[in-house]
Amino acid sequence: MLNITRPLPTIDDDSRPYWESTKAHAMKLQRCNRCESFWFYPGPVCHHCGSTDYQWVQVAGTGTIYSFTLLLRAKGNPFENDVPIAIALIRLTEGPVLMSNLFDYDVDDLRIGLPVEVAYEDVNDEVTLPIFRRQVNP
Amino acid sequence: MVQAVIAGIGDSKIGRVPEMTRMQMTIDAALKALDDAGLTVHDIDGLILHPAFHMSPRFHIIVAETLGIYVKTLADTTMMGGASYGAALERAKFAVESGLCQNVLIVGGEKLATGHQSGSAMMAAAGAHNLDYEYPFAATVPSYYALLAQRYFHEYGADESDLAQIAVATRKHAARNPTATYRDPITVDDVLNSPMISTPLHRLDCSLVSDGASAYVISGRGRSKDPKREIEFLGMGQAQSYYHMGQLAEGDGRGHDLVHTVLDVAAERAYNQAGLGPSDIDLVTLYDSFTITVAVQLEDLGFCDRGEAGKFVAAGNVDPGGKLPMNPHGGMLSNAHPGASAGMLCITEAVRQLRGEATGRQEHAEVALATSVSAIASNFSVTILGASIA
């Protein structure tokens, strides 16, 4: 896992099922029953059609890198001594794009389009973050 | 309907200013703008100020109390980060045109260089970062723009040297501004050899942090002490999209995504209102938080094709004396970036140029276009200004 001093998210009623799913190492997102889209980040209505009729569905855990950056300097932040940190925007197979970190990467992995798969970093008792590595069997 | 104009401008000392407090700088800019317009605080009946990163949402009232502006029929804080002051201009213009106000003061200032709070942790706390779904992954403002730059390279086959051209050109202008922070010429190699902050953005791709405050007074035409120095609003436009990078990346399915910003919508409104196009613009003051911010703006404003900003700049188009001089004061890359009020320097420089008062760096300027930008190149205002018709 990654040794990063992480600022922690605030868990609230809108997002609690998401954070419970990552804690269970089985990430779930909301999928709209009306238009069948997934959305991220968690919230009370479908981002695409506004419906409140949805269910929490476990995602495949796969995706591709949409963009990436290797953070080398971060003065004034809690993680300033933990650089380099690989930050990526991941397009999940289900469609939504979310930000995460890459781990177990080598420099050739830092490319747009790389197939990735999710893993889970238990930051503390409450918070588990999804992080991504190169897909082993794409 | 009253015609609104920019009647006065004021900048405090800009750069590293440890000897002044934020309030002193803010008041200094306001009083300079009033003096420039030939008005007093008693003439002001509208006030707009963005409290920026670490002041209460009531800071505009504190400024009003300090200046002695008791009665206001418009008092607002445009909480839009770096795009705030372009948005404020539009609001002030509407207020004056409609008769809601006679004279509106817009003022803002921040001490990012010598203030007691600085650094990304403070910016995160104030909403510059998305705290729940992005900051936990070590996102900083430069890394956000780095993600944008990396995607831009992928989509257009551009590279770091394309962005470096923007820093080089901006520094050419700063050489002519005696109060700019950095004035020594730089080369593309200098940019690429500067420390890497977050790939692919090097230090010289990133703006400074500075102290500064600026103000403008918006009035009806003819109210200032010298109507020949009043600046006309030719066209304005705003557009905002999103904030979380994933949401920007997903796009709207209608041509907008992370790299294709909604600046095109703001620009179209401004150009249409002005009855002008990109080829009519003599000079631009673009919000240059990063070189990539400039690249997407040059393209989405229609000055060059998408992906071609680096080549457009390398050809000398935005240089001093060029076809489209850009940021003659040296921008945020070389002159100063005083936080949320930084976009105000785009306006005050455009005004100086249009008045013919940009001593030592005067460009041909009858029509100028200024932008302000916030979030991840996702909130924009465009202001097209013209020299006085008086």
B142 in any annotated domain: no
Mind telling me how many Å the CA of B120 is from chain A's nearest CA?
5
Instruction: Give the Cα-Cα-Cα angle B314, B203, B257 (nearest 5 degrees).
Output: 70
**Cis previous bond, A66, omega within 30:** no
B34 in any annotated domain: yes
Q: Which domain holds residue B15?
A: 4-116+210-220
Beta bridge partners of A132: A102, A118
pLDDT, tens digit, for every residue of B119-178? 555 555 556 668 899 999 999 999 999 999 999 999 999 999 999 999 999 999 999 999
Q: Are B139 and A87 in contact (CB under 8 A)?
A: yes
What would you report as the CA-atom Rg of chain B, rounded to the nearest whole angstrom?
19
B46 in any annotated domain: yes
pLDDT, tens digit, for every residue of B336-364? 998 878 889 999 999 999 999 999 999 99
Q: Would an 8 Å CB–CB cutoff place A44 in contact with chain B?
A: no
Q: Would an 8 Å CB–CB cutoff place B117 in contact with chain A?
A: no
B305: phi then psi, degrees, rounded to nearest 5: -70, 160
B107 in any annotated domain: yes
- Asked whether the predicted pLDDT for residue B287 surpasses 90, the reply is yes
Report in angstroms the alpha-carbon separations of B320 from A29, B41, B144, B220, B304: 52, 37, 30, 33, 18
B112 in any annotated domain: yes
Between CA A130 and CA A116 the distance in angstroms is 12
B140 and A97 within 8 Å at the Cβ level: the answer is no
B383 in any annotated domain: no
Between CA B341 and CA B302 the distance in angstroms is 26
Number of H helices, E strands in chain B: 12, 11
CATH number of the domain bearing residue B74: 3.40.47.10
Domain count, chain B: 1
| Nearest in space to B12 (alpha carbons), one of B23, B24, B28, B1 | B28
First-to-last alpha carbon distance for chain A, in angstroms, is: 21
Between CA B309 and CA B158 the distance in angstroms is 9
**Could you read off the pLDDT tens digit of each residue along chain A, which spans 138 residues?**
789 999 999 999 999 999 999 999 999 999 999 999 999 999 999 999 999 999 999 999 999 999 999 999 999 899 999 999 999 999 999 999 999 999 999 988 999 999 999 999 999 999 999 999 999 876
Say how far residue B174 (Cα) sits from the centre of its chain.
Answer: 16
B33 in any annotated domain: yes
Pairs of CB atoms within 8 A across A/B: 124
A77 and B198 within 8 Å at the Cβ level: the answer is no
**DSSP class of B326:** B
Angle, in degrees to the nearest 10, between helices B84-98 and B342-355: 60
B95 in any annotated domain: yes
B124 and A87 within 8 Å at the Cβ level: the answer is no
Residue B156, both tokens: 């257009």
